[in-house]
Structure 1
Amino acid sequence: MKDNSKISSAVIKRLPRYRRYLYDLQKKNVDRISSNELSNLIGYTASQIRQDLNNFGGFGQQGYGYNIQSLYNEISAILGLDQEYKMVIVGTGNLGQAIANYTHYYKSGFKVAAMFDVNPKLIGLRINDIEVLDYEMLDEFMKNNTIDIGIICTNKDSAQEVVDKLCAGGVKGIWNFAPTDLNLSDDIALENVHLSDSLHSLAYYINRNKQKDS
C-alpha cells in the first residue's frame, strides 16, 4: 500500500474534479476512457492525469485506458466518500442555511446532525426537519453525539471559540467559512473557504485580462 501522507495538496484538490467528470461519463453509459480523452474533457494534460493517478496505484491498462466505474469507485474510496460523515453547523444565517440545504439535496454521505445559533429569531427554526438549537447547547450535544465535521458559518470574532468547542467535542475536521484564520491542532483537518479571497482573486483575473486586451 502506498503512503498517501506525502501526496501534495494540489493532487488531492484535483481528485474531486476527476470524480465529477467520471460520474458524468457513467451517466452517459461510457465504460472506459484513455488519459488523452480524459485530458480533452477535463483540461489537464494526459501526463498530469497519469501522474496524479499513479500516486495511488495503477488504475489504467495500456491499450485499454481506465474503466470508468472502477476508477470512480477508487477515487471515491481515496477521498473517503465510501462512508458517511455526521456534521454540525454553527451559525445558521443565510450561508449556514444554504450549506444545510446543499448537503441535504446533494445527498453525498454528509449528514447534518444539528445546527446552532445565538440569534433568538433563528433558534427553533426547522431546516430540512433539523431544528436550530441554542448555541449554549453545543457542548452538551458534542458530549452525547459522535460528530465528524464542524462547519463554521459565524462571524470572525466568534469563530475561534466555536472551533475550540468543536475540537474539544471530538470533531475530526473543520470546514471554515468564517473570514479568519483558525488555530487548531495538527491532527484535525481544516479546509478554509474564504469567500472574499475567492472573489478578490476573481477581480484580479478580470483586470489582468483587461490589461491584456488593452
Structure 2
Amino acid sequence: MNNKRSEVSGAVIRRLPRYYRCLLRLEEQGTVKISSRELARIMDLTASQIRQDLNCFGGFGQQGYGYSVSALKEEIARILGLDGRKKMILLGAGNLGKAIVGSLDFEGSGFDLMAIFDTNEWVVGSEIREYPVISTDKLEDFCHEHHPEAAILCIPQEGAELLVPQLVELGVRSFLNFSHYDIDIEFSNVAVENVYIADSLMTLSYRAAALEEEQE
C-alpha cells in the first residue's frame, strides 16, 4: 500500500464502495477483465481519476491488459475491511432503526449486527428480523460480555450525548451516526460516519433548482 489509510482523501474513500458495487455487478454479469477507460465510462469518472484513486493503495492493473474484475473487487473488499466482520450494535428500535435493520446488508458491509437497544418497554424483548431488542439498562453488561466495536445511533441527539461517552468507555470505536451529536468533536480517537438526512434533502433541493434553471 503506497499511503497510510489516514493519508487517503475522503473523496477517494467515498468512491471505494462505488468501485466495489460496480465490480460486483460486472462479476455477476460474467465480465473477466476491464480497462480503466471502460470502468470510467460505467462509473461516470475519468480513466485518470480511477488510476489515481487505485494508486493510493498500490498498482492493481497491468499495462495493455487492464484490471481483473474479480481480483480488483477482492482487493477493494480488503481495503474496505469487508474480509473481517466487526461486531456491531444498534441503538434505537424506532422507525429509523427498524428501517436500517430491514434494509442494510451488514455482513456484506463488514459488520456483524449483534443486538438492538431501546428504552421503550413495549419493544424490549421483541425481535426485529432475527435481532433481539434489549433494554438500554443492560447495555454495559452486554458490552462487557460481547465487546462490540461499532454502533449505529438511531436515537435523538440528547440520547446520543448520554450514551456515546459510555460506549467509548466500553470500547466502541466506530459510529454510524444518525443523531445530530458531533461525536468526532468530543472524541478524537473514534471513527464516525455522520448521516444527515436533512442535509441530503437540501442538497437534492439545490440540484433540483439547478436542473430547473438549465431547462428554462
TM bucket normalised to smaller: over 0.9
Aligned partner of 1:191 in structure 2 is 193
How far residue 106 of structure 1 moved from its aligned partner, in angstroms, is 5.8
Greater alpha carbon shift after TM alignment, 31-40 vs 171-180 = 171-180
Q: Unpaired segments of 5 or more residues in structure 2?
A: none
SS in 1 for 2:162: helix
Quote the residue 1:75 is aligned against: 76
1:137 matched residue in structure 2: 138
- Correspondence for 2:172: 171
CA RMSD of aligned residues (A): 1.4
What is the aligned length? 213
Query: Offset of 1:68 from its aligned partner?
Result: 0.6
For the 8 Å contact 2:2–2:55, the answer to whether it is kept is no
Contact 1:148–1:173 (8 Å) recurs in 2: yes
Preserved contact between residue 152 and residue 162 of structure 1 (Cα < 8 Å): no
Unmatched tracts of structure 1, length 5 or more = none
Q: Secondary structure at the match of 1:24?
A: helix
Instruction: Spell out the pairing of 1:51-62 with structure 2 (5 A cutoff).
Output: 51-62=52-63
For 1:39-118, list aligned pairs within 5 A.
Answer: 39-103=40-104, 107-108=107-108, 109-118=110-119
Q: Compute the TM-score of the two structures, normalised by the length of structure 2.
A: 0.93
For 1:188, the aligned partner's letter is V
Separation in structure 2 between the aligned mates of residue 85 and residue 155 of structure 1, nearest angstrom: 24
Question: Percent sequence identity over matched residues?
Answer: 41
Q: CA deviation at 1:38?
A: 0.3
How far off its partner does 1:85 sit? 1.5
2:19, 2:178 → 1: CA distance? Answer: 25
Cα distance in 2, alignment partners of residues 27 and 94 from structure 1 = 33
Residue 28 (structure 2) aligns with:
27
Structure 1 partner of 2:211: 209
2-structure distance, mates of 1:32, 1:51: 19
Query: Residue 45 of structure 2 aligns to a residue in which SS?
Result: coil
